[in-house]
Amino acid sequence: MKTVVDGKILEFQALDNLVASNLEVQTQAIKESFDKYTDLDTVILNLSNVNEIDSMGVNLVVGLYKQTQAKKMTFKVSNASRSIINLFNLFKLTSYFEVTS
């Protein structure tokens, strides 16, 4: 997970699929960034390098959304593939946060 800060926007760029086998490292990167950057108003999860998300990956996205809501921040998902958008629609996640391709 690569972290990019631009003003009050924190962007997490997933570098690999969001699947159980590699979530521990990505979760740690997210936690460290939330501890390090406190003056933010928007968090973007960039999925341009993600082709696959399993149930643990969905939990990571939902957890990230909940963290941003607790801190009164906006949460968005960008560069999602059509199949990932369909998955988020299936779980009705698009009614909670913006998802773009």
What global pTM score does this model have?
0.94
- Calculate the alpha carbon distances from 33 to 2, 30, 63, 81 in Å: 10, 5, 14, 25
Q: How far apart are CA 89 and CA 45, in angstroms?
A: 16
What average pLDDT does range 61-89 have in this prediction?
Answer: 96
Q: Closest by alpha carbon to 41, among 65, 68, 64?
A: 68
Query: What pLDDT, in 10s, does the model give residues 3-51?
Result: 999 999 999 999 999 999 999 988 998 999 988 988 899 999 999 999 9
Domains, in order of start, for the chain: 2-99 (3.30.750.24)
- Residue 71, SS3? coil
The answer to whether the Cα torsion of 67, 5, 94, 80 is positive or negative is: negative
